[in-house]
Amino acid sequence: IGNLGDMTLRALSVLVRAERTYCEDTRHSLKLFNHYGIRSALKAYHDHNADRVRPRILKELDEGLSVALVSDAGTPLISDPGFKLAGSAIDAGHTIISLPGPTAPIAALTSSGLPTDNFQFLGFLPSKTGARRERISSLRDAESALIFFEAPGRLSAALKDCYDILGDRRAVVARELTKMHEEVRRGSLSELGRWAETHKIKGEIVLIIAPGEPRQITDEEILVMLERELEPQSLKQAARDIAEELGVSRNRVYELGLKHLRKK
């Protein structure tokens, strides 16, 4: 993702043998190829020519050629070109194999110290404030860690919006991973926000936010729902529906319902 040494041995052996190799920027990938002494020609496949070039690549696959796709850095298709190409190739009956290797969201997560058992990768947040805040709000109840790509110029605003909407959760800013100025900064959203506001932040960034504490449901909240739900249906059915909606045990709702009915 930022270091020529991140390349895997298997990726090198495939690139040496591939009959066609497509990349985002030929000049950029040429540096990688020169470094490893790979002599094959590079052709461009990027957002601006993809619709035009894709049929040609599919034709090459139909002719039986082996075609490789690389991105400027990290794993192709992860916020990089290739998704439509892979889909079309699969639809046409071709075999797609992934060459697992470095990718910024996973490198950031595994150096973050945050729980890794449940996470969502969400790509870039919208750049406009309204849309960004809406997206963050939609993630408020997620039980997973949230992984975003962020541009350095927008980091401070994104951290502030996350703090406003999600509260002061633990978070990590992973910057320039595997490069000379690698930095993994851990703290609360408010601490990181203050740091981002008062420093000139440069480089490539992954932002990770820890999951929120699960909300504690009070007996009063359950009772309000029981009032509403008990009229049209039995206690058993109401307890089942409410338990599912609030994420609490059916037994707890049922017992509260019984007490409630006895008082009536």
Binding site for ligand SAM (CB under 6 A): 1-2, 71, 73-75, 78-80, 103-104, 149-150, 174-179, 204-206
Q: Which is nearer to ligand SAM, 11 or 253 (CB)?
A: 11
Nearest-approach distance from CB 196 to ligand SAM, in angstroms: 14
Q: Which residues contact 231 (CB under 8 A, 6 or more apart)?
A: none
DSSP 177: T
Phi, psi of 102 (to 5 degrees): -65, 145
3-state DSSP assignment of residue 185? strand
DSSP 80: S
Give CA separation, 223 vs 236, 241, 255, in Å.
14, 13, 11
Nearest-approach distance from CB 113 to ligand SAM, in angstroms: 16
Nearest-approach distance from CB 24 to ligand SAM, in angstroms: 9
Q: Which is nearer to ligand SAM, 26 or 221 (CB)?
A: 26
> Which residue's Cβ lies closest to ligand SAM?
74
Q: Which is nearer to ligand SAM, 23 or 242 (CB)?
A: 23
Q: Which is nearer to ligand SAM, 31 or 59 (CB)?
A: 31
Nearest-approach distance from CB 77 to ligand SAM, in angstroms: 7
Q: Which is nearer to ligand SAM, 92 or 151 (CB)?
A: 151
Q: Which residues contact 209 (CB under 8 A, 6 or more apart)?
A: 145, 146, 148, 162, 166, 169, 170, 171, 189
Nearest-approach distance from CB 71 to ligand SAM, in angstroms: 5
Phi, psi of 224 (to 5 degrees): -60, -40
